[in-house]
């Protein structure tokens, strides 16, 4: 195991429009509250040495840290942005030659903070820790949480709260918004340099290919499609799918006002700022497609010298996304209810199920567990549909039991809020228990209290981003 970071900041070789050198704010007393042993091992860092290594690195003002610049469409409105409360310590390379961004979130003001303080509440950082690790264990690509620190400082939001810093790990923090910023540059070479860098970082095998930029876009499109499919599979609502929150690494990033569905509602929105439902649950696939179109616009001229030909090539990939998404979504939903092969009424069967779930406000996670356990008949109004499902299962060529389709446990909003409120008083017992249970979401031995639906009093109707 390594006793130190193996930093190589390749991103700093890009033109300086993409970043600003920044330093972590001096906090009164940084205290390490949580550390992720599994992720520490993935990074090949010595666990026993980790505490000192992390604190020494954060306090080291000589380190070559920086904050990234980018642009983005926020709820459809274009603006210039950047890491307003994040500092990237470096790109760590483990013994397997894998590269990981090590970033601090909530680390203080940067040149991109605008009127913000650049800090985060301990509660919001713990929330990201819970949800991002849950997503990882659900087999969904995501940034991960390495550690949580208490800053020893009170920060003002609606009330005064403890300040916190999240140590976030990602394959990269390059976003659609990074390319949007590059497209604004007066230097034509900036977008090409970013494109070459990103291809080399994610898909180096494409560098010597003909049509490498188009092939790169095709791969990115496929990655995003598969990510959204996974979100829909587990009932995850991201909340702020702005172009600056779409990572080109295909990882879920920026857990702000995110939440998981309780009762099924395709139009469900949790974010307090999404007044028009732009990022509602069922809108996520088409918003991802819209974001991808914005990405393609930034390097259209590099796809083909003739704009009309370049547009046709890009449109082909975007149309392929729509077709493949619908096909894969149907296969995913069939997996969730235990059917295989293809039959003409499969789509109709799934649609009827979702309609019934919406009408009768059935729980998204638990309904599929009931189907899997053959106990959905507890609801009289589902008997006719169950009969149709059983008839359909007789056509299966083999028995299909989903293995990683239906989680038994997700970070339900009311439980997340409960353990976070307890932790605000210094009680981490239930938080630790919850995190432990989320490590094995497909196991059958989850305590009932973590699987139950919220009461009306427990329901969480709005979530906030913590800024």
In the set 83, 101, 190, 244, the catalytic residue is: 244
Domain with 79, as residue range(s), is 10-176
Average pLDDT over residues 214-234: 98
pLDDT of residue 392: 94
Q: Which helix (H) or strand (E) holds 334?
A: helix 307-337
Q: Is 279 domain-assigned?
A: no
Q: For the residues of 107-131, what is the DSSP string, one character each?
A: B---TT-TTS--BEEHHHHHHHHHH
What are the φ and ψ backbone dihedral angles of 78, each rounded to 5 degrees?
A: -80, 140
Of the pLDDT bands very low, low, confident and very high (cuts 50, 70, 90), residue 158 is confident
Q: Is 61 domain-assigned?
A: yes
What's the burial of 344, exposed, middle or buried (CB within 10 Å: 0-12/13-18/19+)? exposed
Q: Would you say residue 312 has pLDDT above 60?
A: yes
Distance CA 221, CA 248 (A): 9
pLDDT of residue 61: 86
Q: How many domains is the chain built from? A: 1
To the query of whether residue 56 is one of the catalytic residues in this protein, the response is no
Secondary structure class of 272 (helix, strand, coil): coil
Distance CA 174, CA 11 (A): 10
- Nearest residue to 350 (alpha-carbon basis) of 379, 323, 388, 324: 388
pLDDT of residue 458: 83
- Dihedral over alpha carbons 358, 360, 362, 368 (to 10 degrees): -80
Q: Is 224 domain-assigned?
A: no
Average pLDDT over residues 169-197: 96
In contact, 73 and 242? CB cutoff 8 Å: yes
pLDDT of residue 1: 77
Sorted by sequence, the CB contacts under 8 Å of residue 281 that are 6+ apart come out as: 232, 235, 237, 261, 265, 266, 267, 268, 269
Task: Label residues 220-235 b or e (16+ Cβ within 10 Å = b).
Answer: bbebbbebbbbbbbbb
Q: Is 28 domain-assigned?
A: yes
The distance of Cα 337 from the centroid of its chain, to the nearest Å, equals 25
pLDDT of residue 400: 65
pTM strictly above 0.85: yes
pLDDT of residue 272: 86
Q: Would you say residue 415 has pLDDT above 60?
A: yes
Distance CA 109, CA 83 (A): 9
Q: Is 116 domain-assigned?
A: yes
Q: Is 17 domain-assigned?
A: yes
Distance CA 305, CA 143 (A): 36
Q: Is 38 domain-assigned?
A: yes
Secondary structure class of 187 (helix, strand, coil): coil
Q: Is 136 domain-assigned?
A: yes
């Amino acid at each position: 195991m390594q006793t130190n970071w193996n930093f190589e900041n390749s991103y700093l070789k890009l033109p300086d429009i993409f970043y600003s050198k920044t330093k972590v704010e001096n906090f009164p007393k940084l205290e390490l509250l949580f550390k992720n042993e599994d992720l520490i091992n993935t990074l090949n860092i010595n666990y026993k040495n980790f505490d000192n290594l992390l604190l020494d690195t954060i306090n080291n003002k000589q380190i070559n840290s920086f904050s990234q610049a980018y642009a983005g469409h926020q709820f459809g409105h274009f603006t210039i942005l950047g890491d307003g409360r994040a500092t990237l310590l470096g790109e760590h390379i483990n013994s397997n030659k894998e590269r990981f961004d090590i970033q601090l979130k909530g680390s203080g003001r940067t040149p991109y903070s605008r009127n913000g303080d650049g800090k985060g509440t301990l509660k919001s950082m713990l929330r990201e820790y819970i949800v991002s690790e849950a997503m990882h264990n659900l087999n969904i690509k995501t940034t991960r949480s390495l550690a949580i620190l208490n800053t020893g400082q009170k920060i003002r939001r609606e009330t005064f709260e403890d300040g916190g810093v999240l140590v976030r790990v990602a394959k990269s923090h390059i976003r659609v918004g990074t390319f949007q910023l590059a497209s604004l540059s007066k230097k034509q070479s900036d977008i090409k340099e970013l494109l070459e860098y990103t291809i080399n970082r994610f898909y180096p095998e494409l560098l010597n290919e003909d049509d490498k930029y188009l092939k790169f876009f095709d791969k990115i499109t496929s990655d995003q499609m598969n990510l959204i499919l996974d979100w829909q599979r587990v009932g995850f609502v991201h909340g702020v799918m702005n172009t600056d929150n779409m990572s080109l690494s295909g990882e879920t990033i920026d857990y702000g006002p995110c939440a998981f569905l309780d009762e099924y509602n395709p139009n469900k929105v949790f974010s307090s700022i999404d007044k028009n439902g732009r990022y509602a649950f069922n809108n996520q696939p088409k918003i991802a497609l819209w974001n991808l179109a914005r990405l393609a616009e930034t390097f259209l001229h590099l796809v083909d010298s003739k704009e009309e030909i370049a547009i046709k090539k890009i449109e082909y990939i975007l149309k392929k996304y729509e077709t493949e998404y619908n096909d894969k979504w149907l296969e995913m939903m069939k997996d969730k209810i235990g059917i295989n092969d293809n039959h003409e009424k499969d789509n109709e069967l799934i649609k009827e199920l979702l309609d019934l779930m919406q009408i009768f406000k059935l729980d998204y996670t638990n309904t599929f567990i009931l189907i899997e356990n053959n106990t959905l008949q507890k609801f009289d109004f589902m008997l006719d549909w169950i009969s149709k499902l059983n008839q359909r299962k007789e056509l299966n060529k083999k028995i299909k039991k989903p293995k990683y389709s239906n989680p038994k446990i997700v970070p339900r909003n009311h439980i997340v809020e409960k353990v976070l409120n307890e932790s605000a008083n210094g009680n981490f017992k239930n938080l630790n228990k919850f995190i432990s249970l989320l490590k094995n979401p497909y196991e059958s031995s989850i305590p009932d209290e973590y699987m139950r639906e919220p009461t009306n009093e427990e329901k969480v109707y709005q979530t906030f981003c913590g800024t």
